[in-house]
Amino acid sequence: MAKLNAADVIASLKEMTIAEVMELVESIEKEFGVTAAAPVAAAAAAPAEAADAAPSEVTLTLKSFGASKVKVIKEVQNITGLALMDAKKLVDSAPCTIKEKISPAEADGYKKQLEAAGAEVEVK
Protein backbone atom coordinates (compact mmCIF):
# COMPACT_ATOMS: atom_id res chain seq x y z
CA MET A 1 0.00 0.00 0.00
CA ALA A 2 1.32 3.45 -0.92
CA LYS A 3 2.00 5.84 1.93
CA LEU A 4 -0.36 8.83 2.04
CA ASN A 5 0.92 12.32 2.68
CA ALA A 6 -0.92 15.06 4.59
CA ALA A 7 -2.27 16.69 1.44
CA ASP A 8 -3.84 13.40 0.32
CA VAL A 9 -5.49 12.89 3.71
CA ILE A 10 -6.85 16.45 3.76
CA ALA A 11 -8.19 16.06 0.22
CA SER A 12 -9.96 12.86 1.28
CA LEU A 13 -11.45 14.55 4.36
CA LYS A 14 -12.83 17.37 2.22
CA GLU A 15 -14.81 14.84 0.20
CA MET A 16 -16.36 13.18 3.30
CA THR A 17 -19.59 14.09 5.04
CA ILE A 18 -19.57 15.04 8.71
CA ALA A 19 -20.98 11.63 9.62
CA GLU A 20 -18.17 9.91 7.72
CA VAL A 21 -15.54 12.08 9.44
CA MET A 22 -17.02 11.27 12.85
CA GLU A 23 -16.97 7.57 12.02
CA LEU A 24 -13.32 7.90 10.95
CA VAL A 25 -12.45 9.65 14.21
CA GLU A 26 -14.11 6.87 16.22
CA SER A 27 -12.21 4.25 14.23
CA ILE A 28 -8.89 6.03 14.84
CA GLU A 29 -9.65 6.30 18.55
CA LYS A 30 -10.37 2.55 18.78
CA GLU A 31 -7.37 1.55 16.65
CA PHE A 32 -4.78 3.61 18.51
CA GLY A 33 -6.38 3.79 21.97
CA VAL A 34 -6.55 7.58 22.01
CA THR A 35 -9.31 10.13 22.38
CA ALA A 36 -9.83 13.33 20.43
CA ALA A 37 -11.55 15.01 23.39
CA ALA A 38 -8.46 15.16 25.64
CA PRO A 39 -6.65 17.97 23.78
CA VAL A 40 -9.83 20.03 23.72
CA ALA A 41 -10.24 19.71 27.50
CA ALA A 42 -6.61 20.63 28.08
CA ALA A 43 -6.91 23.66 25.82
CA ALA A 44 -10.05 24.77 27.63
CA ALA A 45 -8.34 24.46 31.01
CA ALA A 46 -5.41 26.68 30.00
CA PRO A 47 -7.38 29.97 29.74
CA ALA A 48 -9.04 29.27 33.09
CA GLU A 49 -5.62 28.98 34.71
CA ALA A 50 -4.53 32.23 33.09
CA ALA A 51 -7.64 33.97 34.43
CA ASP A 52 -6.76 32.87 37.97
CA ALA A 53 -3.43 34.69 37.80
CA ALA A 54 -3.46 38.05 39.58
CA PRO A 55 -3.43 41.09 37.29
CA SER A 56 -0.26 43.17 37.26
CA GLU A 57 -2.10 46.46 36.67
CA VAL A 58 -5.48 47.57 37.98
CA THR A 59 -7.77 50.60 37.87
CA LEU A 60 -9.02 52.44 40.95
CA THR A 61 -12.59 53.70 40.51
CA LEU A 62 -14.56 55.99 42.81
CA LYS A 63 -18.15 54.71 42.83
CA SER A 64 -19.56 57.32 45.24
CA PHE A 65 -18.22 59.85 47.73
CA GLY A 66 -20.55 58.91 50.57
CA ALA A 67 -21.44 61.30 53.38
CA SER A 68 -18.04 63.01 53.75
CA LYS A 69 -17.53 64.64 50.39
CA VAL A 70 -14.89 67.12 51.62
CA LYS A 71 -12.72 64.36 53.11
CA VAL A 72 -12.97 62.34 49.89
CA ILE A 73 -12.02 65.38 47.80
CA LYS A 74 -8.92 65.90 49.96
CA GLU A 75 -7.93 62.23 49.63
CA VAL A 76 -8.44 62.32 45.84
CA GLN A 77 -6.30 65.46 45.73
CA ASN A 78 -3.53 63.71 47.72
CA ILE A 79 -3.68 60.57 45.56
CA THR A 80 -3.84 62.26 42.16
CA GLY A 81 -1.87 65.44 42.78
CA LEU A 82 -4.68 67.49 41.23
CA ALA A 83 -5.56 71.02 42.29
CA LEU A 84 -8.41 71.31 44.78
CA MET A 85 -11.00 72.43 42.20
CA ASP A 86 -9.97 69.65 39.77
CA ALA A 87 -10.20 67.06 42.53
CA LYS A 88 -13.68 68.40 43.42
CA LYS A 89 -14.80 68.14 39.78
CA LEU A 90 -13.49 64.58 39.62
CA VAL A 91 -15.32 63.56 42.82
CA ASP A 92 -18.51 65.27 41.63
CA SER A 93 -18.43 63.18 38.46
CA ALA A 94 -18.50 59.87 40.38
CA PRO A 95 -18.47 57.10 39.33
CA CYS A 96 -15.09 57.94 37.83
CA THR A 97 -11.57 56.57 37.44
CA ILE A 98 -9.08 57.90 39.99
CA LYS A 99 -5.94 56.03 38.90
CA GLU A 100 -5.24 53.64 36.01
CA LYS A 101 -2.54 51.03 35.45
CA ILE A 102 -1.30 50.89 39.03
CA SER A 103 -0.11 47.90 41.02
CA PRO A 104 -2.69 45.97 43.04
CA ALA A 105 -0.82 46.78 46.26
CA GLU A 106 -0.85 50.50 45.50
CA ALA A 107 -4.55 50.32 44.61
CA ASP A 108 -5.36 48.58 47.90
CA GLY A 109 -3.57 51.33 49.81
CA TYR A 110 -5.49 54.06 48.01
CA LYS A 111 -8.72 52.11 48.46
CA LYS A 112 -8.19 52.00 52.23
CA GLN A 113 -7.51 55.76 52.32
CA LEU A 114 -10.64 56.59 50.35
CA GLU A 115 -12.83 54.18 52.31
CA ALA A 116 -11.56 55.69 55.57
CA ALA A 117 -12.74 59.07 54.23
CA GLY A 118 -16.19 57.57 53.56
CA ALA A 119 -15.98 56.83 49.83
CA GLU A 120 -17.15 53.71 48.02
CA VAL A 121 -14.27 52.44 45.85
CA GLU A 122 -13.78 49.61 43.38
CA VAL A 123 -10.52 48.05 42.15
CA LYS A 124 -10.62 46.34 38.76
Name the residue ranges covered by the structural domains of the chain. Answer: 6-52, 58-123
pLDDT for position 118: 92
The most distant pair of C-alpha atoms in the chain lies apart, rounded to whole Å, by 86
Distance between CA atoms of residues 62 and 91, nearest Å: 8
What pLDDT, in 10s, does the model give residues 68-96? 899 999 999 999 998 999 999 999 998 99
User: What per-residue confidence (pLDDT) applies to 18?
Assistant: 84
Closest CA to 100 of 84, 77, 80: 80
pTM above 0.85, yes or no: no
* Domain 58-123, architecture per CATH: 2-Layer Sandwich (3.30)
Length of the chain: 124
Residue 28: half-sphere exposure toward Cβ, Cα within 13 Å = 9
With a cut of 80, say whether residue 102 has pLDDT above it.
yes
111 and 120 in contact (C-beta within 8 Å)?
Answer: no
